[in-house]
Amino acid sequence: MKIKKTTIEWLGIILLFLLSFINEFTLLLFLVLLLLFLMQKEVGALKIINMITLRTIINPGIGIDISRWQNIKWLLLFLVSFYLVKSYFLLNIEEKKKVRYIGIPFLVFVFYNAISSLAYSTLPTVAIFKLISYSLIFLGVFIGVSYTSKKYDWVQWMNSMFLILMFFSLVTVKFPIAYLRNGHAFQGITNQPNMFGIVTVLFISITLANSQRFIKGSRMKLVIIIIAANYLIILSESRTALIASMMILLIYTIYSNYMNKIEKIISINFLSIVMIVFLVIDNSLIEFIKGFIYKGNSSLLYSRLNQIDGLLENFLRNPLFGSGFSVPVIPYRTFSFSTEFVVEPGNLILSVLSYSGAVGFCLFLVFLFKVYKSNNKDFGIYGYLLISSLLISMGEMVFFSSNNIGTWIYMYLSLYVFADTPIKNKRYKGHYIK
């Protein structure tokens, strides 16, 4: 029996990850060995970024924290991102035109934030560094996907990566290590329950996008995967993830290639009736839902009140131009640099208003509109990638987090823009499109 090259590669990646779990030296060795993927050029560079992101969110009870080699991690991310940005010059005229269509409003937003941060932030140096890390890695991923999307099936590759993550997380469901963070919310092999929840939403969205492309797939297999994924989200106690998942599934019901119009109408009405009946007659279900949403607190937003108050306070300080990109406001202004200045913004809309003010928020909306417009004809296939990226950032603001799963957001936005529609007419050798 011949083993596929993709299977061998994934086995190699799993072994590489297991090696990185042992100690600091093997973690460093893992980061160095990732450079071997540059033998695949731009495709390999994108894989390096995705694998660094995955390694970043690994459960510290399973493997040593990657923060031990944080500087090496940043160096790798910057190097491969710069390498990918250079591939812009390899694009054809049409591809460059599409990159500029998104890239110009993106760079306008970035340059505006640079000027605004220099003028108004109390930590301008830190703000500029975060802005550079965000913009360079975003552009690297965006241009890299543009250049490779015609020859490599990134949707399938990302789907496989998340499927492996979900499988190993499911294996741990009965073990205490999967509840390490707080003892009761499920985090699987990730570093915290909320992280697991939003990553599962990303898994659901790319699974649905993949199913929309390959209509011949098993409907029952898809249903089982989606039910299992939502069960794990409930175990994670992530409200953001559950709400995002429900909204994505509602959109999928509207656009699904697996159902005709009558089946869609029946499905929506059936789900609605079942929910209403259970809510009316089952008090225990009502108590469960209230407990899940309120998380044992008297207020729905109790866990977010400090974040919201802080963001609103920063916005009101300078409502037009903001208080600086992704940095806290401190009592004095300093140009010193430190990685200790961390913000937990919580919500994408309030964050952009706080960082950039009303002017920056308008520029950000233009950027998002351009992204949507670039491939709205295929929204029913790839729209889940765009929507999930925005929805998870409404409760867990990872949109600008290049040091975290922000890179997966950039992958999803890029795939939405550049993913090819007539996928069913193409032949594959592994993930490569022939």
pTM value is 0.88
- Residue 159 makes CB contacts below 8 A (sequence gap 6+) with 203, 206, 207, 210
**Tens of pLDDT, residues 222-262:** 889 999 999 999 999 888 898 889 889 888 888 876 666 66
40-69 residue pLDDT tens: 999 999 999 999 999 999 999 999 999 889
Tell me, what's the pLDDT at 426? 53
pLDDT band at 159 (very low <50, low <70, confident <90, very high): very high
Residue 282: both structure tokens together: 């089952």
**What proportion of the chain, given as a percentage, has pLDDT over 70?**
80
DSSP characters over 218-280 = -HHHHHHHHHHHHHHHHHHT-HHHHHHHHHHHHHHHHH-SSS-HHHHHHHHHHHHHHHHHHHH
Give me the numbers of helices (H) and strands (E) for the chain, helices first please: 16, 2
Query: Which tokens is 257 given?
Result: 């290639």
